[in-house]
């Protein structure tokens, strides 16, 4: 199995994270992804530390979003660069770009011209705040989008402590939404024979992840606020404290609350605790009661008791602990690739599996993140060959 997108050619003009994430996801599924970079390379090649390699010049940030790609360096303002990109577009199925709105037009590769060159081309355009509207031209950076799109207002210890999510979630969601849109457009192309433009943005992707916070406000009139590590609509559901450290408990059903309370000598029908609605309304008292009950047990004891009672519970693992966890290894969430400079390295693997016995994430072999311009000569030679080569 070479992957469900085997034979699909993707031109990835994007940089930083949202677009490269989308390109990597398509590459994981077997597409041939050609990353077009300027002479200075993708911005993330300079993001660090940490930097690794003999000369300490390889960014581990870049390694995170660029596996299964080839790299070619082009100056898109030069005649040669425009010629090579034109020839790439003529052969491609997908083009990804995350420039500011209007930049592709200024380069001479607006959507109309791209579809003149290749009517079957699918263009994925990712922006910060949308391609139009009163603020459509704003630069898009994850930290800014998390704040502008409301995510920080519901993240943190309380309303006066807005916090960013610990990963660039706006970028990652935009990449995921973009890849999803591309796959849908590829399917649509099978019926229509024509490509189309797929658009998403950091703003749209973060708002699309508001979940109950969106309907709580739009339908229920309730404005969500940050309230730390506890669920706004379920209690108890969050982070609690055993004698020697934190544990997470999720009583997302009345039956689970009854099992949990009985296990730790709490009266499940006590005043203010009998129903989820009551427990949410009296959250502070519920949290205090649960913490008091857990304080006489170690975290390991709490987790063992919850497991025996059938109550969902878990640890708070460090990144180091996650990658050393046997469950992560069992799910093939680590990938080994042979990097031309670093040698054999282990990186996070694809989150997808196809069938019980597919451990590759969709393709038989995976390419390491490329060196800057590593494939320039080979790609130029390929373009000089037959169109179906």
Q: Please write the tens of the pLDDT for every residue from 240-271.
A: 999 999 999 999 999 999 999 999 999 999 99
Pairing mode, strands 334-339 and 343-348: antiparallel
How far apart CA 233 and CA 277 sit, in angstroms, is 8
Q: How confident is the model at residue 313, as a pLDDT?
A: 98
Query: Is 171 tagged catalytic?
Result: yes
Given 171, 265, 267, 377, the catalytic residue = 171
For the chain, domain boundaries: 9-209+328-383, 237-317
pLDDT tens for the 389 residues of the chain, in order? 478 999 999 999 999 999 999 999 999 999 999 999 999 999 999 999 999 999 999 999 999 999 999 999 999 999 999 999 999 999 999 999 999 999 999 999 999 999 999 999 999 999 999 999 999 989 889 999 999 999 999 999 999 999 999 999 999 999 999 999 999 999 999 999 999 999 999 999 999 999 999 999 999 999 999 999 999 999 999 999 999 999 999 999 999 999 999 999 999 999 999 999 999 999 999 999 999 999 999 999 999 999 999 999 999 999 999 999 999 999 989 999 999 999 999 999 999 988 776 666 678 889 999 999 999 999 999 999 887 76
- In this predicted structure, what is the pLDDT of residue 361? 65
pLDDT at position 140 is 87
How far is 84 from 77, CA to CA, in rounded Å?
11
Give per-residue pLDDT as tens, 180-209.
999 999 999 999 999 999 999 999 999 999
The pLDDT value recorded for residue 137 is 85
The whole-angstrom separation of Cα 189 and Cα 6 is 16
Report residue 4 as tokens. Answer: 């469900």
User: Comparing 9-209+328-383 with 237-317, is the CATH topology the same?
Assistant: no
Angle at which helices 18-28 and 169-192 pack, to 10 degrees? Answer: 50
Task: Kindly state the tokens that stand for 255.
Answer: 């039956």
Token look-up 């090649």 returns: 45
Residue range 237-317 in CATH 3.30.1540.10: yes
Pair of tokens at residue 338: 């042979």
Could you say which of 3.30.1490.100, 3.40.250.10, 3.30.420.40, 3.40.50.10540 is the CATH number of the domain covering 9-209+328-383? 3.40.50.10540
């Amino acid at each position: 199995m070479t992957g469900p997108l085997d034979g699909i050619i993707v031109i990835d003009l994007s940089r930083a994270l949202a677009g490269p994430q989308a390109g990597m996801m398509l590459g994981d599924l077997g597409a041939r992804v050609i990353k077009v970079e300027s002479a200075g390379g993708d911005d993330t090649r300079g993001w660090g530390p940490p930097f690794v390699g003999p000369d300490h010049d390889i960014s581990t940030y870049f390694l995170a979003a660029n596996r299964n790609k080839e790299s070619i360096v082009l100056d898109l303002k030069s005649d040669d660069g425009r010629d090579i990109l034109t020839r790439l577009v003529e052969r491609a199925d997908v083009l990804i770009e995350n420039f500011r709105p209007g930049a592709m037009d200024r380069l001479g590769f607006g959507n109309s011209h791209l579809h003149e060159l290749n009517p079957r081309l699918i263009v994925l355009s990712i922006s910060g705040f949308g391609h139009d509207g009163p603020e459509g031209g704003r630069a898009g950076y994850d930290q800014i989008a998390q704040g502008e799109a409301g995510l920080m207002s519901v993240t943190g210890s309380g309303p006066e402590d807005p916090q960013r999510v610990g990963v660039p979630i706006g970028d990652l969601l935009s990449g995921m939404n973009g890849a999803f849109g591309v796959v849908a457009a590829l399917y649509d192309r099978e019926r229509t024979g024509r490509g189309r433009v797929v658009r998403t943005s950091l703003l749209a992707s973060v708002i699309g992840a508001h979940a109950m916070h969106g309907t709580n406000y739009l339908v229920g009139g309730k404005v969500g606020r940050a309230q730390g590590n506890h669920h706004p609509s379920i209690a108890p559901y969050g982070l609690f404290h055993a004698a020697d450290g934190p544990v997470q408990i999720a009583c997302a059903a009345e039956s689970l609350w009854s099992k949990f309370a009985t296990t730790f000598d709490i009266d499940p029908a006590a005043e203010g605790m009998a129903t989820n609605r009551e427990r949410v309304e009296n959250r502070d008292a519920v949290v205090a009661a649960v913490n008091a009950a857990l304080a006489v047990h170690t975290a390991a004891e709490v987790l063992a008791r919850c497991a025996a009672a059938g109550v969902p519970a878990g640890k708070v693992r460090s990144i180091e602990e996650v990658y050393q966890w046997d469950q992560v290894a069992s799910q093939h969430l680590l990938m080994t690739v042979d990097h031309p400079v670093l040698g054999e390295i282990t990186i996070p693997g694809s989150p997808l599996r196809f069938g019980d016995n597919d451990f590759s994430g969709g393709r038989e072999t995976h390419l390491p993140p490329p060196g800057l311009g590593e494939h320039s000569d080979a790609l130029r030679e390929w373009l000089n060959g037959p169109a179906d080569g």
